[in-house]
């Protein structure tokens, strides 16, 4: 920069007004007229001419020197000003999320305590995590409108460019409106999704304070809307479908914007969008405020993220106008009906895009994929329309806003019930295990089911079989879940899945299980049995398995009790029918009169003919009762009580030597199995664990001892089952049963000698008689 020093006499005669004027050449305080009078004399010593170079910032080109040619979105992505943040965004907790933060702090404290002390707090941590997940689900399932507004304004919520770079394979940003300057609050560009080219445009907020100031907090000026208008004409000319993303509090309402024609720019966009011959989709990803949002929102389909809002006036502004206080904003948000579900009922929005629990900022990439799916599905529908149908579809969408159309009568059903049932939104259940219930809660539920069954049995109001079966199924799912988690913790999940797949193929009718596959299955089973007690959730698995066994036994006993009670009632009913028959009553009364007339007090004092007559009547009644029981499907056998008992005792005494011999063989087989090296090692390990545990073993020692005992029992059972001892046991058992059923006593030769005329009825209800 040049500077000239002059003598003070050269400026004499200048007026004050001349000195206050500024020249265009950068001389401040000197008029051009006086400057022209100055003569430059290089020989004068009192005059010097000097030049200074101003230091300016070197121009930084957006294209880096070491540009990566394989960058996602293509090499032109380097031209975008939108770069990944160098610093991590700070977590922001909303007011209604504070209870969740307290729970999360408790979980972290317990984990820290477990690391410092070395103690096992897995149950407490699991209980707190389940409580946290349940609280998170309950909170985000029943959000109020003002809470959804807070989520839509969350500082960490993904922006337009975040979504665009997640869903596009290539994206090139286009700048400028060719009239003024490039407004960074609105971003436009061309990108591809699954090979299909789109024109993208949307409001861009900042991800931190510096970016928000640069992007003007997502509030566009007229230059931004004119840039969007230019790109709309460009897309319409080349046939690119348009996808707009809405996320703005509203258009920037300062004096300069009004001077530049903010209203005219918005109105021009509204008029132009209704005449574009390409499909248009608008997606509200945050908040859509007033005309600033509608300027790029006149689309064929308007979709909204689950926690997005779309309004004419913000809840705070509405509350300040109607209630004279911004504190009434929750009430205003509810009355304005600005949420996605409410706007779908009013037919303003055409669909809801789900968000993960916690909002879009909890998992931005998953949210972006849901947006991508919605764009593809909606665009497939719109591209099926021709130009005239597309323009009419866009016009009719805005003509029927609110469910009404000019000149068309309202459906009477809509008059009666304007509120439609809200369509449930499919949520992401990431890191939320399905079917995972704390052990304590399951114990309470099982006990409650047992009490319900007992009460129902006592009151004879019927048995709640549905509740019992439902609880058993739930316990089965819990056990399967815990077992899968334990196998996964041991690192055997992939092997188990592979073997299951191979087994399913080999188990088909035209395939046989190969010995190698059987060996692999047995090897994996042994590994799981050995390492199962070391799994972090082993205690939960064991407790849930015990509860399942207990409830299954309870169910079986309860079913048997019900069956027996029902059978008793049917038998009593049949007996009453038999005894109430007229011929039986006549015979009984006649026999009773003869006994009274005889004057005898004991059966032995009766006349032999009368005793014979009594026996005949008893046999007739017995026959009637047997027929009645046979009609119920029961196998009935009439036995003489004393003779049968003595006969069975005498017949079983013959098999005593055989039983003792078989027991000796079984003991020898057990000793031979125990002497094996692998089983001997397990027994020694069991002894060592018992010695280490002492008199008061802890939970871990109990689990190890129990696991070793089960392994030893399984090994013994497998060894004995493979030998011929089981076959001998079955043969001896059948011989004993056949002898007992025949009622033959070799000592006496005939069981009738024990017959004293007193018979009993034995009913075979299908119960198994086992011999050990």
Return d(Cα 732, Cα 411) in angstroms, integer.
84
Q: Which residues pair with 2 in a beta bridge?
A: 51
Confidence of residue 9 (pLDDT cuts 50, 70, 90): very low
Can you read off the two tokens belonging to residue 469?
Answer: 């079966």
Q: Which residues, in sequence order, are CB contacts of 685 under 8 Å at separation 6+? A: 708
What pLDDT score was predicted for residue 294? 93
Mean pLDDT of 569-597: 78
> What are the pLDDT digits (tens) for 365-405?
999 999 999 999 999 999 999 999 999 999 999 888 765 55
- What's the average model confidence in pLDDT over 695-710? 79
Most confident of the ranges 153-157, 473-477, 506-510, 736-740: 153-157
- Residue 723: the pLDDT is 65
pLDDT, position 581: 78
Query: Is pLDDT of 520 > 70?
Result: yes
Q: What is residue 366's predicted lDDT score, i.e. its pLDDT?
A: 92
Round the average pLDDT of the chain to a whole number and report it.
Answer: 76
Q: How confident is the model at residue 582 (pLDDT cuts 50, 70, 90)?
A: confident
Sign of CA dihedral 32, 35, 39, 40: negative
Identify the residue whose tokens are 């809801």: 352
Q: Which residues contact 330 (CB under 8 A, 6 or more apart)?
A: 144, 145, 146, 315
Q: How far apart are CA 299 and CA 293, in angstroms?
A: 12
Taking only the tens place, the pLDDT of each residue in 308-329 is 999 999 999 999 999 988 889 9
| pLDDT reading at 531 higher than 90 | no
pLDDT at 246: 96
Extract the tokens encoding 722: 């493979």
3-state SS class at 414:
helix
User: In this predicted structure, what is the pLDDT of residue 287?
Assistant: 93
Tell me, what's the pLDDT at 466?
Answer: 73
Is 70 exceeded by the pLDDT of residue 748? no
DSSP state of 636: E
| From 253-257, 279-283, 291-295, 742-746, the region with the lowest mean pLDDT | 742-746
CB atoms within 10 A of CB 192: 16
Q: Name the CA radius of gyration of the chain, rounded.
A: 46
| CA-to-CA separations, 606 to 591, 599, 610, 703, in angstroms, rounded | 12, 9, 6, 71
* Class in CATH terms, 145-400: alpha beta
The torsion region of residue 462 among left (phi > 0), alpha (psi -120 to 50) and beta comes to left
pLDDT computed for residue 649 by the predictor: 54
The pLDDT tens digits for 181-205 are 888 999 999 999 998 999 999 999 9
Judge whether residue 580 has pLDDT over 80.
no
Residue 643 has which token pair?
A: 């003779």
Using an 8 Å Cβ cutoff, are 227 and 188 in contact? yes
Full DSSP string of 660-691: HHHHHHHHHHHHHHHTSHHHHHHHHHHHHHHH
Q: Is 464 left (phi over 0), alpha (psi -120 to 50) or beta?
A: beta
556 vs 747, higher pLDDT: 556
- % pLDDT > 70, the chain: 74
Q: What is the pLDDT of residue 168?
A: 92
- How much is the pLDDT for 354? 92
**pLDDT tops 80 at residue 472:** yes
**Cα dihedral sign for 735, 740, 743, 745?**
positive
- pLDDT tier, 4 (very low <50, low <70, confident <90, very high otherwise): very low
Mean predicted confidence (pLDDT) in 285-298: 92
CB under 8 Å to 693, separation ≥6 — which residues? 701, 702, 705
Q: Which helix (H) or strand (E) holds 94?
A: none
What is residue 383's predicted lDDT score, i.e. its pLDDT? 92
- 505-519, 634-648, 738-752, range with greatest mean pLDDT: 505-519
Alpha carbon 649 to chain centroid distance? 63
Strands 635-640 and 759-764: antiparallel
DSSP bridge pairs for 191: 171, 198
Q: Could you report the per-residue pLDDT of 256-271, keeping only the tens digit for each?
A: 999 999 999 999 999 9
| Domain ranges across the chain | 95-142, 145-400, 467-551, 556-631, 656-730
Query: Taking residues 74-80, what's their average pLDDT?
Result: 66
pLDDT in tens, 235-288: 999 999 999 999 999 999 889 999 999 999 999 999 999 999 999 999 999 999
The answer to whether residue 51 scores a pLDDT higher than 80 is no
Top mean pLDDT of 437-441, 472-476, 618-622 is at 472-476
The winner for highest mean pLDDT among 110-114, 406-410, 434-438 is: 110-114
**pLDDT score of 749 more than 70:** no
Per the document, the length of the chain is 772
Tokens of 278: 């390409």
């Amino acid at each position: 920069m040049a500077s000239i020093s002059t003598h003070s006499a050269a400026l004499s005669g200048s007026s004050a007004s001349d000195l206050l004027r500024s020249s265009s050449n950068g001389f401040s305080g000197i008029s051009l007229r006086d400057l022209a009078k100055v003569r430059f004399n290089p020989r004068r010593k009192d005059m010097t001419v000097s030049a200074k170079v101003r230091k300016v910032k070197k121009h930084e080109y957006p294209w880096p020197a070491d540009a990566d040619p394989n960058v996602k979105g293509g090499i032109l992505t380097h031209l975008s000003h939108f770069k990944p943040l160098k610093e991590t965004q700070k977590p922001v907790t909303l007011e209604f999320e504070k209870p969740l933060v307290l729970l999360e702090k408790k979980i972290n404290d317990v984990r820290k305590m477990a690391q410092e002390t070395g103690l096992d707090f897995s149950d407490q941590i699991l209980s707190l995590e389940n409580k946290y997940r349940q609280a998170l689900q309950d909170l985000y399932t029943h959000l109020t409108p003002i809470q959804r507004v807070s989520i839509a304004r969350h500082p960490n919520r993904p922006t337009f460019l975040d979504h665009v770079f997640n869903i596009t394979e290539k994206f090139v940003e286009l700048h400028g409106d060719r009239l003024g300057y490039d407004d960074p609050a609105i971003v436009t560009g061309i990108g591809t999704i699954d090979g299909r080219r789109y024109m993208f445009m949307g409001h861009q907020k900042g991800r931190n304070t510096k970016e928000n100031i640069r992007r003007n907090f997502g509030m566009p000026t007229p230059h931004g809307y004119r840039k969007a208008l230019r790109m709309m004409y460009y897309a319409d000319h080349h046939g690119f479908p348009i996808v707009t993303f809405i996320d703005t509090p509203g258009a920037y309402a300062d004096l300069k914007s009004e001077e530049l024609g903010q209203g005219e720019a918005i109105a021009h966009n509204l008029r132009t969008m209704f005449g574009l011959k390409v499909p248009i989709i608008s997606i509200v990803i945050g908040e859509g405020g007033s005309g600033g949002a509608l300027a790029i929102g006149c689309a064929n389909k308007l979709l909204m993220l689950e926690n997005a809002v779309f309004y004419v006036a913000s809840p705070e502004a509405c509350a300040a106008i109607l209630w004279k206080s911004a504190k009434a904003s929750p009430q205003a948000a509810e009355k304005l009906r600005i949420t996605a579900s409410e706007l779908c009922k009013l037919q303003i929005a055409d669909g809801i895009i789900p968000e993960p629990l916690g909002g879009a900022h909890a998992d931005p990439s998953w949210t972006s994929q849901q947006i991508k799916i919605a764009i593809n599905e909606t665009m497939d529908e719109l591209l099926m329309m021709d130009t005239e149908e597309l323009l009419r579809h866009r016009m009719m969408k805005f003509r029927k806003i609110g469910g009404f159309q000019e000149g068309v009568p309202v459906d009477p059903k809509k008059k009666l019930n304007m509120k439609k049932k809200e369509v449930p939104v499919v949520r992401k259940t990431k890191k939320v295990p399905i079917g995972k219930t704390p052990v304590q809660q399951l114990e309470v539920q099982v006990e409650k089911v047992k009490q319900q069954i007992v009460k129902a049995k006592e009151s004879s109001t019927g048995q709640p079989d549905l509740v019992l079966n439902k609880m058993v199924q739930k316990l089965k799912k819990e056990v399967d879940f815990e077992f899968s988690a334990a196998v996964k913790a041991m690192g055997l999940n992939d092997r188990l899945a592979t073997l299951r797949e191979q087994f399913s193929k080999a188990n088909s009718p035209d395939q046989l299980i190969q010995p190698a596959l059987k060996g692999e299955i047995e090897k994996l089973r042994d590994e799981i049995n050995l390492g199962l007690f070391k799994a972090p959730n082993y205690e939960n698995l064991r407790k849930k398995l015990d509860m399942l066994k207990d409830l299954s036994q309870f169910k079986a006993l309860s079913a048997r009790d019900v069956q027996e009670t029902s059978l008793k009632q049917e038998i009593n009913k049949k007996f009453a029918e038999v005894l109430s028959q007229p011929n039986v009553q006549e015979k009984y009364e006649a026999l009773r009169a003869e006994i009274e007339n005889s004057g005898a007090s004991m059966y032995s004092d009766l006349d032999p003919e009368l005793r014979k007559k009594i026996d005949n009547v008893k046999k007739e009644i017995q026959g009637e009762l047997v027929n009645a029981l046979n009609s119920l499907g029961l196998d009935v056998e009439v036995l003489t009580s004393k003779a049968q008992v003595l006969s069975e005792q005498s017949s079983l005494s013959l098999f005593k030597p055989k039983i003792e011999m078989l027991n000796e063989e079984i003991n020898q087989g057990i000793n031979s199995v125990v002497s094996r090296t692998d089983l001997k090692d397990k027994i020694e390990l069991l002894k060592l664990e018992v010695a280490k545990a002492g008199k008061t073993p802890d939970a871990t020692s109990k689990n190890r001892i129990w696991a070793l005992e089960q392994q030893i029992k399984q090994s013994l059972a497998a060894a004995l089952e493979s030998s011929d001892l089981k076959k001998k046991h079955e043969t001896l058992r059948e011989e004993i049963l056949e002898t007992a059923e025949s009622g033959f006593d070799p000592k006496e030769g005939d069981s009738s000698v024990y017959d004293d005329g007193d018979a009993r009825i034995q009913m075979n209800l299908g119960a198994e008689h086992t011999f050990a």
